[in-house]
Amino acid sequence: MKSIGNKYIVIINDFGHINGGAAKVAITSALGLSRRGYQVIYFCAVEPIAQELRQSGVQVVCTGQQEILKNSCRIGAAIQGIWNLRAARILGKIMQDQPPKSTVVHLHGWTKALSSSLMPVIFRHQVIPIVTLHDYFISCPTGGFYNYQTQESCGLKPLSPQCILTDCDARNMGHKVWRVARQIVQERMGNIPEGIKEFIALSDFSYRLLQSYLPQGARVFHVPNPIDTAQEPPVEVAANDEFLAVGRLSLEKGYLLFAEASQKADCKAVFVGDGEVGKQISRINPEARITGWQALPEVQRWLSRSRALVFPSLCHETQGLTILEAAAKGVPAIVSDSCAGRDLIVPGETGLLFHNGDVVDLVEKIMMLKAPKLAEHLGRQAYKKYWASPYTLDRHTDALITIYGEVLANNGIDKHCPGAFRRPSSEVPRFQG
């Protein structure tokens, strides 16, 4: 595999397979950059490795570790989550072979298995880090500005005395104390976020929440997540009767709310994904179907047989990838009005918004889309709006190449190897602080 202008890209994410939005974007971007001829290393901790990566020209390096929540040795998991020495050592060996000051390290996720121990390695080898803000762990100990005990958004300043003393963790106060300790280590030893100057935000919504916590002078680029799907005729949603939810089945995602609403609305509910609240979903709505994690082609097939997508997140989110995937198929979405996904909906035109956490309002919106004509109209409009300016993988890859080139140039690197990252003519939008 060739490299272009001796420029290298290291993509870092906890997982080597798709189990959520961050992993999906990390893997698809690695594939997209590799297809353009760039030398890409995909660094992760948790197997299995996605088949797409195995069959590509991407070099995959996996530390072979468990997700910390699934590690039966809780003491070992606690240590790994705070400071993963094994991952740091392996990354250090990789970095020895990368040219100093001419390698981009793109971080997508490190809080589920890898930890902030990677950052001193990155800084020591004088490579350029860029972080995509898939969540809010850059500042918030629980990663979502969300109180799992009250199931409400949290407005407390991260690591303030009130924040530290608030029992907001999904498990217990002891786990919150561990999260606080991890956050302090991340800031003081990992130098996150202060040591990072370039970020990618997925939406205006998420950027506004994080803006005050980013380093002074940080540059934040706006690059929505890609949708890797070919344009086909829109789905005939009027002929379908299944309401679909896609993603990790966790408390903050609002899927228990959808389970209750679908039971009350007497509609067919399908959950494409897996997670800790799966059994609770089945207890609330025994008729609901849970498929487990599915490869992209299977997710596309489920979308093609659905009446609507339901995106009931109780937390803020950062974009809402499945909303765009549904729109690309001509499937309308019902979205919580307090999450970033609301920015992707034109209410009453491409989908519907419902009041966050309000099961009655969600039932009402489901009942509205039981009407075939309205569902068909919203789906066609969503399809039209999406394909007028699609979030394709090629477009996403172009944006990354532009950003990498600009970052290297600003660090005095591109002049030594001009044209290594060939920039498309269009500029990548930046948020104005």
- pLDDT digit string, tens, across residues 201-256: 999 999 999 999 999 999 999 999 998 788 999 999 999 999 999 998 998 999 99
Same domain, 399 and 341: no
Calpha distance 278→280 (Å, rounded) = 5
Same domain, 221 and 364: no
Same domain, 243 and 309: yes
Q: Does 167 have pLDDT greater than 90?
A: yes
Same domain, 382 and 398: no
Same domain, 322 and 222: no
Residue range(s) defining the domain that contains residue 351: 237-388
Q: Give, as one character, the DSSP assignment of residue 145.
A: S
* Residue spans of alpha helices (H) in 104-189: 118-124, 161-165, 173-188
Calpha distance 219→79 (Å, rounded) = 32
What is the mean predicted confidence (pLDDT) over 180-208?
Answer: 96
Same domain, 209 and 282: no
Q: What percent of the chain has pLDDT over 70?
A: 94
- pLDDT digit string, tens, across residues 347-372: 999 999 999 999 999 999 999 999 99
Q: How many domains does the chain have?
A: 2
Compute φ and ψ for 301, nearest 5 degrees: -65, -40
Same domain, 104 and 217: yes
What is the mean predicted confidence (pLDDT) over 72-86?
Answer: 97
What pTM was computed for the model? 0.87
Is 196 part of any domain? yes
Same domain, 13 and 83: yes
Is 169 part of any domain? no
Same domain, 249 and 291: yes
Same domain, 356 and 280: yes
Is 339 part of any domain? yes
Same domain, 249 and 276: yes
Run of H or E including 131: strand 128-132
Is 145 part of any domain? no
The band of 426, judged by pLDDT with boundaries at 50, 70 and 90, is: low
Which CATH number goes with the domain that contains 352? 3.40.50.2000
